[in-house]
Amino acid sequence: MHLHKYEKIWLVFGTVCLIAFLSIVGVNAFAHDHTPAGGIETIDPEKVRETAPFNEPGVKKLDDDTYQAAIVASAFAYDGGQTLTVPVGKEIIFKVTSTDVVHSFTIDNTNVNMMVVPGQVTTKSYTFKEPGKYLIICNEYCGTGHHFMYTEIEVTE
- What is the pTM for the complete model shown? 0.74
User: What pLDDT sits at residue 35?
Assistant: 64
pLDDT digits (tens, 9 = 90+) for 59-108: 999 999 999 999 999 988 898 766 799 999 999 999 999 999 999 999 99
Same-domain check for residues 51 and 115? yes
Q: Tens of pLDDT along 121-134?
A: 999 999 999 999 99
Per DSSP, the residues of 64-129 read TTEEEEEEEEETTEEE--S-EEEETTSEEEEEEEESSS-EEEEETTSS-EEEE-BTEEEEEEEE--
Question: What range defines the domain where residue 30 resides?
Answer: 1-34
- State how far the Cα of 30 lies from the Cα of 42, in Å rounded to an integer: 26
Statement to judge: residues 110 and 147 lie in one domain: yes
- Looking at the fold, whether 93 and 141 belong to one and the same domain comes out as yes
User: How many independent structural domains does the chain possess?
Assistant: 2
Instruction: Give residue 13's pLDDT band: very low, low, confident or very high (50, 70, 90).
Output: very high
DSSP 53: T
Residue-wise pLDDT for 23-72, tens only, equals: 998 888 777 776 665 557 889 989 998 999 999 999 999 999 999 999 99
User: Both 144 and 78 in a single domain?
Assistant: yes
Same domain for 123 and 77? Answer: yes
Asked if 21 and 49 sit in the same domain, the reply is no
Q: Do 54 and 26 reside in the same domain of the chain?
A: no
CB contact at 8 A, 124 and 37: yes
- Do 90 and 49 lie in one domain? The reply is yes
User: What per-residue confidence (pLDDT) applies to 6?
Assistant: 92
Same structural domain, 1 and 68: no
What is the rounded distance in angstroms from the CA atom of residue 59 to the CA atom of residue 42? Answer: 21
Q: Are residues 30 and 5 in the same domain?
A: yes
Q: What is the pLDDT of residue 37?
A: 56
Q: Residue 88 maps to which CATH number?
A: 2.60.40.420
Contact 84/154 with Cβ under 8 angstroms?
yes
